[in-house]
């Protein structure tokens, strides 16, 4: 057995993946079109072009933006509550709201990662002439001016320590002046989804939808062309064989090219037309016939297709929604569906959103609040924690039935103000916990069944 006391046993000998050395975005991706900035561009195309992907990402952004949040003190001491108030003041004192930041941060779901540069400031009050120090507070502490987004398509590569696999920073492409910007990790908020091989670019939630999106785009294009052809018809031109002969004269070739251009551009729209000569062929006796020398017609479809494209398109749309657990958005578009099915799929989607919002708050706690504590030399034992609220409102009907069952079993929460506070929060009702502690029974409290039995 290897001796763990040896220095080598305590060293990290391997690396996570190729990205450790190259810093390339998703260097281990096996599809070339999803590697590096090409992959970022493709996910941006999916997000901005496809209605199914766009609707899902818009729903995610709006739901997570509206999630309630609170700063939880380290303990119940007055100093700990002051430190919690400091953190709340940090977000109120920024140039933008925390909601705006969260709505931009959730783009890591689409691209696999999102990065923001933290711009700090010395809080110099409202009377200062220095805009970099302007603040609602005049305590001289280090605060946050803004969390500046750094778009995914501007990130050239990551700087990863090839010994510890830790992120040291990133290079950002600059289109003006040449070169690029290097932003160290100490000034970054780095949001990342499920990582593969320690890749700081993460894994896009749209990765499994890429195949369905590719086929869907091609089939929709074919469908549009088929509709156009069926409505317009396929142009067919007739001309004398001598004009098509390799030995045709220059004038005959010119007529042939003009006819080909007419057939190519001929469409049944408000500017579509064709001008043809009225000359006709003559018979052996030199008499004119009914056959024109140049003729055009449209071959129309009989209206029957061997393949019904609509179910295929709908199937790929369901595959895209299913890949991000948002298939409930497709319910109602067909002939089947039920409330129970919708609720189960929606609950699964909301569970996924809970993990997404937890990632955001974990980063804020670790990469923002902890660094502020270091910069201001605060006591880490008093460092609060930001926690998100519930994603979706609670079903008060089910909660009421559960509480009745507990009450019937003899449980009494009247002496537990924290439980009553949580119940009132779930119902979005006001509640004064201090007043409740002084008079928990209330003026006309009705005893429960267990108390009546005891009496």
Residue 32 in contact with residue 38, Cβ under 8 Å? yes
pLDDT at 448 over 90: no
Query: What does the pLDDT look like over 194-249, one tens digit per residue?
Result: 766 678 888 888 998 999 999 989 988 888 877 777 776 778 888 888 888 888 89
CA 227/CA 309 separation, integer angstroms: 11
Ordered DSSP codes for 245-290 = STT--HHHHHHHHHHHHHHHH--SSTT--------EEE-TTS-EEE
Would you tell me how many other CB atoms lie within 10 Å of the CB of residue 378? 15
For 287, the token pair is 């008499």
Query: What does the pLDDT look like over 377-416, one tens digit per residue?
Result: 999 999 999 999 887 767 778 778 888 888 888 887 777 7
224 backbone φψ class: left, alpha, beta (φ>0; ψ -120 to 50) = alpha
pLDDT over 70 for what percent of the chain?
80
Which of 112-116, 343-347, 436-440, 451-455 has the weakest average pLDDT?
Answer: 451-455
For 317, the token pair is 């749309």
- The pLDDT mean for the chain works out to 81
- ∠ CA(352), CA(358), CA(361), 5° rounding? 150
pLDDT at 111 over 80: yes
Query: What does the pLDDT look like over 167-184, one tens digit per residue?
Result: 899 999 876 655 678 999
Question: Measured in Å, how far apart are the chain's first and last C-alpha atoms?
Answer: 70
Question: 201, exposed or middle or buried, with CB in 10 Å at 0-12, 13-18, 19+?
Answer: buried
Query: What does the pLDDT look like over 46-103, one tens digit per residue?
Result: 999 998 888 888 888 888 888 888 899 999 899 999 999 999 999 999 999 999 999 9
Helices in 331-395 by DSSP H: which ranges? 339-363, 370-375
Q: Is 183 helix (H, G, I), strand (E, B) or coil?
A: strand
Query: What does the pLDDT look like over 262-305, one tens digit per residue?
Result: 888 776 666 666 777 777 777 778 788 877 777 877 776 665 55
The full set of domain ranges for the chain reads: 12-206, 207-233+306-323, 236-299, 396-454
pLDDT bin (cut points 50, 70, 90) of residue 445 is very low
Query: What does the pLDDT look like over 34-45, one tens digit per residue?
Result: 988 899 999 999
Ordered DSSP codes for 226-252 = HHHHHHH-EEEEEE-HHHHSTT--HHH
236 forms beta bridges with 297
CA 137/CA 260 separation, integer angstroms: 76
């Amino acid at each position: 057995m290897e001796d763990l006391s040896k220095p080598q046993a305590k060293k990290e000998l391997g690396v996570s993946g190729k990205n450790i050395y190259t810093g390339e975005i998703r260097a281990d991706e096996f599809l070339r079109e999803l590697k590096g900035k090409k992959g970022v561009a493709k996910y941006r195309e999916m997000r901005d072009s496809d209605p199914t992907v766009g609707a899902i990402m818009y729903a995610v952004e709006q739901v997570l933006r509206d999630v309630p949040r609170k700063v939880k003190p380290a303990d119940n001491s007055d100093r700990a509550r002051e430190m919690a108030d400091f953190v709340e003041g940090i977000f109120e004192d920024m140039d933008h709201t925390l909601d705006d930041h969260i709505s931009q941060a959730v783009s890591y779901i689409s691209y696999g990662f999102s990065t923001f540069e933290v711009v700090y400031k010395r809080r110099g009050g409202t009377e200062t002439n220095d805009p970099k120090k302007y603040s609602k507070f005049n305590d001289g502490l280090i605060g946050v001016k803004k969390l500046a987004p750094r778009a995914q398509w501007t990130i050239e590569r990551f700087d990863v320590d090839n010994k510890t696999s830790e992120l040291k920073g990133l290079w950002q492409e600059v289109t003006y002046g040449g070169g690029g910007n290097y932003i160290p990790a100490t000034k970054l908020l780095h949001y990342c989804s499920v990582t593969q091989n320690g890749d700081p670019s993460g894994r896009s939630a749209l990765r499994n939808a890429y195949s369905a999106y590719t086929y869907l785009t091609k089939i929709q294009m074919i469908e549009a062309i088929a509709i156009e052809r069926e409505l317009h018809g396929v142009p067919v031109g007739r001309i004398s064989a001598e004009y098509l002969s390799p030995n045709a004269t220059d004038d005959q070739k010119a007529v042939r090219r003009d006819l080909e251009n007419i057939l190519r551009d001929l469409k049944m729209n408000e500017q579509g037309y064709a001008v043809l000569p009225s000359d006709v062929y003559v018979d052996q006796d030199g008499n004119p016939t009914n056959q024109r020398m140049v003729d055009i017609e449209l071959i129309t479809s009989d209206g029957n297709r061997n393949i019904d494209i609509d179910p295929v398109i709908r199937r790929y749309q369901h595959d895209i929604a299913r890949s991000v657990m948002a298939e409930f958005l497709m319910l109602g578009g067909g002939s089947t569906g039920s409330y129970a099915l919708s609720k189960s799929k929606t609950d699964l989607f909301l569970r996924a959103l809970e993990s997404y919002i937890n990632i955001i708050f974990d980063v804020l706690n670790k990469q923002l609040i902890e660094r502020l504590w270091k910069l201001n030399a605060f006591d880490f034992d008093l460092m609060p924690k930001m926690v998100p609220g519930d994603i979706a409102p609670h079903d008060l009907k089910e909660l009421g039935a559960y509480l009745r069952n507990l009450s019937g079993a003899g449980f009494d929460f009247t002496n537990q103000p924290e439980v009553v506070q949580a119940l009132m929060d779930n119902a979005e009702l006001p509640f004064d916990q201090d007043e409740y502690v002084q008079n928990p029974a209330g003026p006309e409290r009705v005893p429960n069944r267990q108390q009546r039995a005891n009496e």
